[in-house]
Chains A and B, each alone.
Chain A
Amino acid sequence: MIDPEMDRKIANAPKNDIPGWGVDADPENDPTYPMKHWNGADHERSHYEKAPQQPVNIEVFHSIERPNITRVFGTSTPPAGLSGAIRRQAYKYSEAQAAHWMMLIFADRVDVVQGIISDIRRGIFPNFIAEAGWRAEWKYNRKKLIRRVAVKVLTVAAVIVWMSRKRKKSML
């Protein structure tokens, strides 16, 4: 059975008793240099000087791979509605779990629908054409844009025709 306290004691014990400890240590054998100027700071572990805590006035999710939130954080777009509920669940899993990321991506898609509903509630009907930058597409890539629109229109038309035929058949 794992005993974290015992393991920590072993980890913190003086190394002098271990034969050969450090004899081959070579500061130049450091593939992270020059990205990292090694000065041992990461051996301080979590006992480092920290900034004051930013007041937490909104719901902030934090990775469960750290004990708490960071001293500063972004306050853009706090979690809301169904997408927020999904994100809340997602942050119960570590970053190593696919469930964490897949749920967040799913929440992002739900958020798009929430965004449209929220726009309409505020009296804004989203201008999908402008938002998608189709003005630029029309100017510089007209043929591709027309082809793309045609494919979408034909696909929707085909689905409508297929659905209406299916309905007629079931009525007969």
Chain B
Amino acid sequence: MFEHVFRGGYRYWLLVGSLLALITAGVIAYLVQYNQGLMITGMSRSVAWGLYIAQFTFLVGVAASAVMVVLPHYLHDYHEFGKITILGEFLAIGAVTMCPLFILVDLGQPRRIMNVFLHPTPNSLMFWDTVVVFGYLIINIVISRVMYESERKSVAPPKWIKPLIYLSIPWAVSIHTVTAFLYCGLAGRPFWLTAILAPRFLASAFSAGPAMLIILCLIMRAYTRFDAGEKAIGKLAEIVTYAMVINVFFVLLELFTGLYSDMPHHMHHFEYMYFGLHEGGEVHANLAPWMWTSAVLSVVAVVVLLIPKARRDLRILGPTAGVVVLALWIEKGLGLVVTGQTPDELGHVVVYSPQPLEILITLGVYGIGFLIITVLYKIALSIREVETG
């Protein structure tokens, strides 16, 4: 199956080349971090988790791309998705591969990573997250491999794969739930201490994952001979619409509980997020422009998606899916993790701003993920292009 990876037009090689360049830059930046330690990042005693863990949190969500096509296809016999289930699974593989990489680059002592397996600790949610994320990766690799082979040989897939596909559906729910549990079980972190965190993760995952899939389908429609079909893309758009509306609703629920209850420890974090907090005679509001952008983008996306005419117009849907991804990236990949630690446990505001090398390492990991997705999509398209022409 990998023979197709080394054949492609100049556009393919341009994409692969730029991703490899990005990865190289990220690896060099990581070598600096490996030698000097996490001092090269913007993290601190007060904000101990930054960009890396936030990307991990966001990408666990993107992995939901698989379940949102697998579920309608296998549980509701919605066969329009038949052509793209493997694309959803491949996107999930790319996203889920980035998750452990972001954990790895975040470790102070990466060489001791095996301690997690040498001393398995079931009372730590980190242990369970490792189990479910790696499990989800393996499940998706097996399913997509078997489905790809049977599609290539035009034979029916083996019977034993069905239970595994069914298992992948609740398993996808578990990766968001357990990742939310990392945060929402901590007594000292009122911003995260909310039972709606796991549902919020699910809602944003079910928007970001399919939105990413829409973007990829539209790119393939424009540049390759593979067409997912307007019906399938339209159904994905409906899924994104429902999930995004629920997502915005959940955020409003959080705001109401946090602000109406008027408890200072809850209020401070929201205040920091949207308006900034005072410390040492200064107002620290570095997140506020981002969070307002995210809020405005979310509302714009919901409004556009709710208008059937706009949603069905692929020229509008493409950018709207981009807006959904960007809004949710700001919310999960920047806002959630940092805000939960600002102010810190002693009530001080220590500002976190990601440093250049830290950003480069982050982009490098994204490079690896997107290279995996590119290569897997190339493989997936190769059989389809032979079929269609």
A and B pair up? no
- Interface set of A (CB-CB < 8 Å, partner B): none
Residue numbers of B with Cβ under 8 A of A are none
